[in-house]
Amino acid sequence: MNQSCLAVDIGASSGRVMLGQLANDQLQLDEIHRFNNKMVEKKGHFCWDIDTLFLEVKAGLKKCREFENKPVSIGIDTWAVDFVLLDENDQLITDAVAYRDPRTDGMMEEVTEIIKKERLYLDTGIQFQKFNTIYQLYALKKQQPELLEKAKTFLMIPDYFHFLLTGKKANEYTNATTTQLVNAFTKKWDKELIDALGLPFDIFQPIILPKEKLGSLKEELVEELGFSLDVYVPATHDTGSAVLAVPENNETIYISSGTWSLIGIENSFPICITKALDYNFTNEGGVDYRFRFLKNIMGLWMIQEVKRLYDDAYSFAKLVQLSKQHSSFTSIVNVDDQRFLKPDDMIKEIQAYCKETNQQVPHEPGEVAKCVFDSLAESYQKAIVEIEEMIEKEYETIHVIGGGSQNEQLNQLIADKTKKIVCAGPVEATAIGNVVAQLMALRELNEIADARKVIANSFELKRYHAMTSVEEGME
Ligand SMILES: Nc1ncnc2c1ncn2[C@@H]1O[C@H](COP(=O)(O)OP(=O)(O)O)[C@@H](O)[C@H]1O
Ligand SMILES: C[C@H](O)[C@H](O)[C@@H](O)C(=O)COP(=O)(O)O
Ligand SMILES: [Mg+2]
């Protein structure tokens, strides 16, 4: 019987504990536990409820107690950039403040007065997002210097969960690159940059690579659960695991479609050219030191907020269905305008934007949904034009992975707008990539190319082509 492993994928909107193993040259993935995730307000900041999230992880582990063939390992991945600080007794001294919190307002501007944007980009290759860890730490230095002085350990969210499991402290590489404090060429913490910002270099931990073993469950956890597990770190940046699971070995564009839409390509070296800086593309670290040359697009966060504002009266599937009933509604918003990062009321923000740009204002839920999906597709098309201009290559396919790959309307819109073949799935790409990294560590899988063939052979993929005007007429 092949070894099985547990992948814990916690995105900004939901988390899941998945059991993965190889069977007859296919990857079997079973959902053990699923839970919601959302920001909560704590002491005037938007935070993640990491205590509850860890209880949910343990709830998933406890469901494995009765398994005859128990998993042998576990790995956890989450969203990027966010972190906690520990004191000399390994106790939390900060909340897990969320990247949408306004504490970083103005920080990027201050930091790039000290370190010019061009230098920061040439050294790290990382996009300029106001919520990057570098700006969060700089905000802490200015707003709560006493916390930074007391800090002995910096752990990103998945690092912290791995620490709770094993007692071991390390920063995993793919997620560490999203801090904008790792040098893209040395692959190490950039001490010159950290010192220049007056941040304490010694809090950063040794960088561990995907597939490396961090440790095993702490004794008290083994007693609580009744079994042990080894921790092999996956690409703990969720998008790093998702990209590993793109079911394609030929060069392709991918869209990791969840709360965020991460659109890009995989590359063997960082692309830090001026155009990439101007277009705000990033070079996040991947498995086996590959690079994820991609761009953050606001993503399905917008429809998540719309759904919440309608008091969850409509499911995501219902909102997609309603959007189809408004084919004549064509207003578009610039989804990457920072006004959509954390508005009080997303629907009102979209309506205001349409009014300001003299476009038809959406009122019906279907009109609002259509505006979101059309606008996302528009932003994807713009990013693809930028990618093809910089790489000087025309791509035939776009692989849409993640929860958003279930949005058939959006998949068709992407195909129609880009005139490319859209291949949708797997839905749980991130968890699959997490499993694959562990199975590679356990020598159940060898190379990434082999893993991608297995993934393509294991999960349903749906293809979309640009509709001709005749087909559109038949819609
Ligand atoms: N049945 C569905 N139809 C259309 N879209 C869906 C469906 N289920 C989920 N989604 C989309 O998937 C998104 C969640 O994707 P997921 O990858 O789980 O996000 P994250 O990892 O950021 O929490 C939702 O915001 C929603 O837009
Ligand atoms: C804030 C980051 O850009 C964000 O974490 C992004 O990198 C990401 O991975 C989002 O993942 P979701 O699954 O929450 O969309
Ligand atoms: Mg996700």
SS (H, E, C) 221-238: HHHHHCCCCEEECCCCEH
CA nearest ligand 2 atom 7, residue: 80
pLDDT, position 474: 63
To test the ligand 2 pocket, which listed residue (79, 296, 434) has its Cβ within 8 A of the most ligand atoms? 79
Contact indicator for 18, 31 with CB cutoff of 8 Å: yes
Q: Name which of 131, 96, 79, 129 is nearest 238 in CA terms.
A: 79
- 33: tokens are 């536990």
Q: Which residues line ligand 2 (CB under 6 A)?
A: 11-12, 79-81, 99, 131, 238-239, 258-260, 262, 296
For residue 332, what pLDDT is reported? Answer: 98
d(CA 221, ligand 1 centre) in Å: 32
Instruction: Give the per-residue pLDDT at 469.
Output: 62
233 C-alpha to ligand 1 centroid (Å): 25
pLDDT of residue 470: 61
CB burial class (10 A; 0-12, 13-18, 19+) of residue 296?
buried
Sign of CA dihedral 191, 194, 199, 203: negative
**Ligand with the closest atom to the CA of 427:** 1
Q: For the chain, report the end-to-end CA distance as a whole number of angstroms.
A: 48
**Cβ pair 262, 294 in contact under 8 A:** yes
Over the chain (475 residues), the average pLDDT of each successive run of 10 is: 93 96 95 97 97 98 92 98 98 98 98 97 98 98 97 98 98 98 98 98 98 98 96 98 97 98 98 97 98 98 98 98 96 98 98 98 98 98 98 98 98 97 98 98 95 97 85 62
- Positions at the binding site for substrate: 80, 237-239, 296
Which residues are near ligand 1 (CB < 6 Å)?
11-14, 258-259, 300, 303-304, 316-317, 320, 402-404, 406-407
Q: Please pick, among 95, 238, 374, 416, the residue that the annotation labels catalytic.
A: 238
Question: What's the sign of the alpha-carbon dihedral 371, 376, 381, 382?
Answer: positive
Q: What is the pLDDT of residue 1?
A: 67
- Where are the strands (E) in 87-144, listed by range? none
Who's near 150: CB < 8 A, 6+ residues apart? 85, 87, 93
CA distances from 472 to 232, 259, 327, 372, 438 (A): 49, 29, 10, 20, 44
Tokens of 20: 């993965």
Q: Does domain 4-233 have CATH number 3.30.420.40?
A: yes
Which tokens go with 106? Answer: 């103005």
* Token reading at 448: 């990434």
Q: Distance, CA 296 to ligand 1 centroid (Å)?
A: 16
Nearest-angstrom CA–CA distance, 82 and 237 = 11
- CATH number (3.40.50.300, 3.20.20.370, 3.30.1300.10, 3.30.420.40) of 248-425 reads 3.30.420.40
pTM exceeding the 0.80 threshold for the entire prediction: yes
Residue found under tokens 């600080």: 85
Q: Which of 350, 326, 328, 330 is nearest to 339 (CA)?
A: 350
Residue nearest to atom 4 of ligand 1 (CA): 407
Structure token digits, residue 379:
């932003």
Enclosing H/E stretch for 140:
helix 133-143
Rounded distance from Cα 401 to ligand 3 centre (Å): 10
Tell which atom from ligand 1 comes closest to the C-alpha of 13.
Answer: 23
Whether residue 345 lies in the annotated active site: no
Indicate the top mutation candidate among 36, 259, 308, 428 to test ligand 1's pocket, ranked by most ligand atoms within 8 A of CB. Answer: 259
Cis preceding-peptide flag for 426 (omega within 30 of 0): yes
Q: What is the pLDDT of residue 68?
A: 87
Cα 27 to Cα 4, 8, 248: the distances in Å are 10, 16, 15
145 within 8 A of 197, measured Cβ to Cβ? no
Binding-site residues for ATP sit at: 12-16, 259, 304, 403
Q: In 10 A of CB 358, how many CB atoms?
A: 8
Helix (H, G, I), strand (E, B) or coil at 259: coil
Amino acid 301 reads W
Which residues in the chain are classed under CATH 3.30.420.40?
4-233, 248-425
- pLDDT score recorded for residue 2: 84
Q: Per the structure block, which two tokens stand in for 238?
A: 């969720």
> Quick one: DSSP state of residue 97?
B
Whether 48 and 37 have beta carbons less than 8 Å apart is answered as yes
Beta bridge partners of residue 282, listed in sequence order: 294
Assign 436 to helix, strand or coil: helix
- How many Å apart are CA 34 and CA 28, to the nearest integer? 17
- How far is the centre of ligand 3, averaged over its atoms, from the C-alpha of 12 (Å)? 7
Residue 390 to residue 371: CA distance in whole angstroms: 29
Question: For 50-129, where are the E strands, in sequence order?
Answer: 73-78, 83-86
Q: Please, which residues have CB within 8 angstroms of residue 119's CB and are 6 or more apart in sequence?
A: none
Helices (H), 279-360: 301-309, 316-323, 346-356
Residues 4 and 54: their CA atoms lie apart, in Å, by 21
The helix or strand, by DSSP H or E, that contains position 107, with its residue range, turns out to be helix 107-114
Q: 99, 316, 322: which to mutate for ligand 1, most atoms within 8 A of CB?
A: 316
